[in-house]
Amino acid sequence: MSIEQILFAAAETAKTGTAAAQQQPGMMSFLVPLLVVIVVMTFISGRSQRKQREKQKQMFDSIVKGTKVRTIGGFTGKVVEVGAESFMIELADKMPPVEIVKNAVAAVIDEKAAEEKK
């Protein structure tokens, strides 16, 4: 091998090294917008979950004695007693009331009773 061939090989190696170095900023310019999108989506998701929790809390606070509710299990009943963490609901006539936790209420069916009691 001559000195010219060695210098040519060294120059080619240097060119490929600089090409690899130039590709790294391209990768960083791709990752920064991706991270920004992830942060924004996380913020939006957390905000919507907070709104949903507030709406659910308002629904639980509006339930009073006589309100008709539907549970997450599909049962429909009338609230007989309101506790701190649970409700006593009457599912049918001649049947004793059943205690359910507040989180088991899926929807308020009879909002008129809740409004009249307030």
Query: What pTM was computed for the model?
Result: 0.55
Neighbours of 68 (CB within 10 A): 18
More confident residue, 61 or 17: 61
Q: Give dist(CA 70, CA 105) in Å, integer.
A: 6
Neighbours of 33 (CB within 10 A): 9
pLDDT tens, residue by residue, 22-46: 555 677 777 888 888 999 998 888 8
Q: Using the predicted structure, report yes or no on whether residue 118 has a pLDDT greater than 90.
A: no
Q: Give dist(CA 12, CA 67) in Å, integer.
A: 82
Q: Using the predicted structure, report yes or no on whether residue 86 has a pLDDT greater than 70.
A: yes
Cα-trace Rg, the chain: 33
pLDDT at 62: 86
Q: Is 107 helix (H, G, I), strand (E, B) or coil?
A: strand
Q: What is the 3-state secondary structure (H, E, C) of 65-88?
A: CCCEEEECCCCEEEEEEECCCEEE
